[in-house]
Structure 1
């Protein structure tokens, strides 16, 4: 139904981080079946298995509102993953099939669940993913604000007499001796 080129028109991921090869079933705003064939000579790391499932979920969430460019279309953000269960590793040469179900979509926030299989064996269960879209500007502003707060906290800690800078009753430059 959908190959890599069609998937690239929907989500912003690109090789080597594009981790969905095919979509074989898509029922708009309801469910999707997508897959990844593992290449190389090592098992697929569990973190990349979860990332691959998340990308399949993003194809379901955004298929009718493509977002191939994060600078203009927004950035997908995984807010919450809950009740994650991993099964056996996915080995080189195997194809993992992701089943994703959309439970709810509210504006740009989606609630999805699902599983991943190699053959009939469950290799991943996702109890819930809450994902959202954010503009690049809002994320940059959040990062800038967080960076300023971290610097202010570091400056406060480095100040002579600050409780974090006092070691054995003498003020230091913030480095414990």
Structure 2
């Protein structure tokens, strides 16, 4: 559906903070599915944790939010003029560790969307097993404000 180049045209994130490699499914204003290929080359594995690398939970939530950001960005013609900021992160649960070699599948759906504020529900899976889930709210803010 969308490759890394297309994602980079929408999201302002870049290495090492771009955490979505591909968009697999997309239903405008409703849902999106993205992928993150987790490799041992990720910068955070150097310190989290030596000898037992585990993807930090906060980055799993960020990957879900970035996937949701691609969904929300489709609602705006001039998205390059905005930045999407977290407002809230609720009901976060981690169910299994994410380790090098895993493919993280992020599924997000819109709970509520009005004007420039959106609430999403995200789930991250590895091999069909739930790794993490969260609900988050974001707001679009004009870059020059």
Aligned to 1:89: 97
Aligned to 1:124: 132
What is the CA deviation profile of residues 105-153 of structure 1, one whole-angstrom value per residue up to 9, with x for unaligned ones?
A: 1101111102110012101111x21100112343xxxxxxxxxxxxxxx
1:124 partner SS: strand
Aligned to 1:46: 57
1:60 partner SS: helix
- Change beyond 3 A, Cα 1:108–1:10: same
Count the aligned residue pairs. 134
Tell which has more relative contact order, 1 or 2 (C-alpha 8 A, sep 6+).
Answer: 2
Give the root-mean-square deviation of aligned CA atoms: 1.6
Mark the runs of 5 or more structure 2 residues left unpaired by the alignment: 46-52
Q: Report how far residue 60 of structure 1 moved.
A: 0.8
Q: Report how far residue 103 of structure 1 moved.
A: 1.6
Aligned to 1:57: 68
Aligned to 1:158: none
Moved over 4 A (4+): 66-69
What is the CA deviation profile of residues 51-94 of structure 1, one whole-angstrom value per residue up to 9, with x for unaligned ones?
A: 1111001011112436675xxx1221100011110111111011
Give the TM-score normalised by structure 1: 0.71
Mark the runs of 5 or more structure 1 residues left unpaired by the alignment: 139-177
Structure 2 counterparts to residues 1-177 of structure 1, below 5 A: 1-40=1-40, 42-65=53-76, 69=80, 73-126=81-134, 128-138=135-145
